[in-house]
Amino acid sequence: MAALATTAFALFLLCVSDFISVSAKGGFTVDLIHRDSPRSPFYNPSETPSQRLKNAFHRSFGRLSHLKPTNHYSVAQPNQAESTLISNRGDYLMELSIGTPPFSITAIADTGSDLIWTQCEPCVNCYTQTDPIFDPSKSSTYKTIHCSSNQCTELKGRCPAKGSGSGSACQYEVDYGIQYTIGNLAVDTLTLPSTTGRNVSFPKTIIGCGHNNTGTFDKKETGIVGLGGGDESLITQLGTSIDGKFSYCLVPFAWEGNQTSKLNFGDNAVVSGSGVVSTPIVEYPTQKTFFFLTLKAISVGKVKVPYSSSSSASSKGNIIIDSGTTLTLLEPSFYSKLEKVVDKVVGGERVNDSQIGIPLCYKVSQSKYLKLPNITVHFSGGNVKLKPNNTFIRVSDEALCFAFAPAVLVPSLYGNVAQADFLVGYDVKKKTVSFKPTDCTKV
């Protein structure tokens, strides 16, 4: 599920105080905290760095069932089967508040989905969470969307089946592959914290009040905030306020300090200056959630490996940029060609570890013999030059692994290890994604 590592994105630290509105020319910035950072509520000091990495890799592969471009709303069936599911949690988390008075929630921030939702009372079937569950009856600004309204139709919501006990509220269902949430669509005030010291409130934000939610979420996770490109996402709903711009700067995975990553909105999200590379966002009208880019090739040193696919899919818009997936996951036939070139350059003794799930790893004891190549990702419109910490990860005392892997998924996924130490800016009005090399620990 997007966020989900990953799967998906960040923790906004909340301090509820004065509310301000954001002008179309304004901007603000919030903190993002990796789920394995010492500042994260999920931080487990007993885990080794290699254990954290393996967990992140597993979340990357678990995310695949969700990040197929088929995500949509559908009518919820009252007697739908339930299963014990594999978690698709993301790498970054966020805190925000909803309602009046503001009610704080901790949610997965997910660039691979749209709806903002939290578990709500009464919970017909909810997973266990540590914090109190949001009670919409206690919010003076909460209002359900009527199932017969034009808004419900536009959001692809449905009227509940007779006898389901949900009244006339517009009902949603979001399927995250093997996880789902079902509930009522509503509007309420959403409040975000800001590093300016003042909170930012947005009235009449579309949210989902989840009454039937299935998945192995952590007890401290209370829902998901969709940051995708669809109509219900936070980014789209803030569109005029932030002029369609947001950006983030992700601190590298292996960073052990307390430095937070940053998520910027509006004018604060503009990516400009020396070294900026921009590439077009490819739009598919039926798949607005995902940010599709076009990967043309990947160079290993001076050897360029042109993108190729064994499928009949178009080469345009062939990769999704995803802040919630750790690894970069490529179409198998293309990955195979890339791996051969990388392995030839790197040399050294290979090591296999089925628990890691990455095919190309080398013995760390041979590291002095390894030649880590310069790797450049060629997108349509520009080239992104990666550093070794974007392409290789030390996963244990014994193994150094290539942070790319094959996956049967069309399109491919451009993960957050490759994005670390870049200021990555999205402009949904100009339909571009920009990359600027940046030391994100100093932003």
Give catalytic residue positions.
Answer: 110, 322
Residues in CB range of 127: below 8 A, 6 or more apart = 119, 213, 214, 215, 216, 217
Residue with the two structure tokens 């290539």: 402
239: left (phi over 0), alpha (psi -120 to 50) or beta: alpha
CA distance 99 to 278: 38
CA distance 201 to 189: 7
CA distance 373 to 208: 46
3-state helix/strand/coil string of the chain: CCCCCECCCCCCCCCCCCEECCCCCCEEEEEEEECCCCCCCCCCCCCCHHHHHHHHHHHHHHHHHCCCCCCCECCCCCCCCCCCCCCCCECEEEEEEECCCCEEEEEEEECCCCCEEEEECCCCECCCCCCCCECHHHCCCCEECECCCHHHHHCCCECCCCCCCCCCECEEEEECCCCEEEEEEEEEEEEECCCCCCEEEEEEEEEEEEEEEECCCCCCCCEEEECCCCCCCHHHHCHHHHCCEEEEECCCCCCCCCCCEEEEEEHHHCCCCCCCEEEECECCCCCCCCCEECEEEEEECCEEEECCCCCCCCCCCCEEECCCCCCEEECHHHHHHHHHHHHHHHCCCECCCCCCCCCCEEEHHHHHHCCCCCEEEEECCEEEEECHHHHEEECCCCEEEECEEECCCCCEEECHHHHCCEEEEEECCCCEEEEEECCHHHC
Which residues, in sequence order, are bridge partners of residue 227?
none
CA distance 113 to 89: 13
